[in-house]
């Protein structure tokens, strides 16, 4: 009797593992690409790729709505899916050759860590692969949540990447830059002196020597959840506003915007924001 119970439990666990593995593989599959016709009169087309970086726990779903909208509107096309394992192994499918406004959908095989530091290392590896094997010299980026935090640490912490890839336009969506402060903290230019975020302090030192590309534009976009004027429900705006302090002595064009009644997840799901992203990255004006 006891053996039968154990056998049933083992079978049940095996089924659960198989189901979970199937779900995980589905979430890592990447959004199907669709060829576009570069005829949208409001869009400027070029060969410069745009990298899509998800946040903590993000996957294929994060940018599927955005990708499908851009493809349907002949704005940009998903031509490459890049996955990285916790070991640093990078898997690439697709090609950038001959594509106009190409999108690179980046997916972590595992991004449920208690800290984003492993993802910084993995993203650094991916950027190096894009530079050396796929000859990416210019790059736009759309980054949500910790995805943007990881990008800042990876790029500012690597002189090699700064030499090899010139970032052009970077759209940050609800990105925590310094996690020391909460919703009741007001931004001041001296607030960094009260920081106890060691990762931010490290980046403050690194950015002094960083060679950031001239003409680089940072769009720092935040949400304001209904009834919560200083947070999107997950990331307090003050944590994003510390980006201003980080780059204050650099030749970086900085723009910020707060979207009212917008949650952390809605920053990459609302069509209004998806359209605005397209305008700042590929708009002719």
CATH code of the domain covering residue 234? 3.40.50.1820
Structural domain contains residue 73: yes
Domain membership flag for residue 241: yes
Residue 29 forms part of a structural domain: no
Transcribe 142-200 into DSSP letters: EEETHHHHHHHHHHHT-HHHHHH-EEEEEEEES--S-TT--TTPPP-TTGGGG---HHH
Q: Identify whether 138 is part of a domain.
A: yes
What pLDDT, on a 0 to 100 scale, did the predictor assign at position 268? 98
The closest of 167, 146, 143, 159 to 207, measured between CA atoms, is: 159
- As beta bridge partners, residue 210 has none
Give me 29's structure tokens: 């599959």
**Closest residue by Cα to residue 43 from 100, 104, 97:** 100
Tally the C-alpha atoms within 13 A of residue 173's C-alpha that lie toward its C-beta.
25
Number of domain units in the chain: 1
Look at residue 111 and tell me if it is in a domain. Answer: yes
Q: 0.75 exceeded by the pTM?
A: yes
Q: With respect to residue 30, please indicate whether it lies within any of the assigned structural domains.
A: no
Domain hosting 77: range is: 44-180+190-282
For residue 129, what pLDDT is reported?
A: 98
Note whether residue 8 is domain-resident: no
- Cβ atoms 204, 158 nearer than 8 A: no
According to DSSP, the β-strands at 77-84 and 90-94 are antiparallel
Residue stretches of the chain with pLDDT short of 50: 14-26
Q: Is residue 118 part of a domain?
A: yes
Please tell me whether residue 137 adopts helix, strand or coil conformation.
Answer: coil
- Neighbouring-strand partners of residue 219: 171, 255
Give residue 9's pLDDT. 53
pLDDT in the model for residue 226 = 80
- Give pLDDT, residue 175: 98
């Amino acid at each position: 009797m006891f053996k039968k119970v154990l056998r049933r439990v083992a079978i049940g666990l095996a089924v659960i593992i198989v189901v979970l593995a199937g779900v995980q593989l589905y979430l890592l599959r990447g959004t199907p690409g669709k060829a576009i016709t570069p005829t949208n009169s409001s869009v400027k087309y070029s060969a410069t790729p745009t990298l899509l970086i998800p946040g903590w726990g993000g996957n294929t779903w994060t940018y599927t709505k955005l990708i499908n909208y851009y493809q349907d509107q002949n704005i940009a096309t998903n031509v490459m899916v890049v996955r990285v394992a916790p070991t640093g192994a990078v898997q690439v499918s697709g090609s950038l050759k001959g594509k106009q406004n190409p999108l690179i959908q980046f997916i972590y095989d595992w991004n449920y860590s208690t800290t984003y530091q492993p993802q910084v290392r993995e993203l650094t590896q991916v950027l190096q692969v894009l530079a050396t094997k796929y000859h990416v010299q210019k790059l736009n980026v759309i980054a949500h949540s910790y995805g943007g935090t990881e990008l800042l640490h990876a790029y500012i912490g690597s002189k090699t990447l700064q030499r090899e890839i010139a970032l052009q336009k970077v759209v940050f969506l609800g990105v925590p830059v310094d996690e020391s402060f909460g919703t009741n903290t007001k931004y001041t230019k001296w607030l960094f002196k009260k920081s106890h975020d060691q990762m931010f302090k490290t980046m403050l030192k690194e950015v002094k020597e960083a060679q950031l590309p001239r003409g680089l534009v940072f769009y720092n976009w935040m949400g304001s959840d209904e009834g919560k004027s200083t947070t999107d429900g997950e990331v307090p705006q003050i944590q994003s506003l510390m980006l201003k302090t980080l780059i204050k002595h650099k030749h970086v064009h900085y723009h910020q915007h707060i979207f009212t009644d917008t949650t952390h997840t809605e920053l990459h799901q609302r069509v209004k924001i998806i359209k605005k992203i397209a305008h700042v990255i590929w708009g002719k004006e």
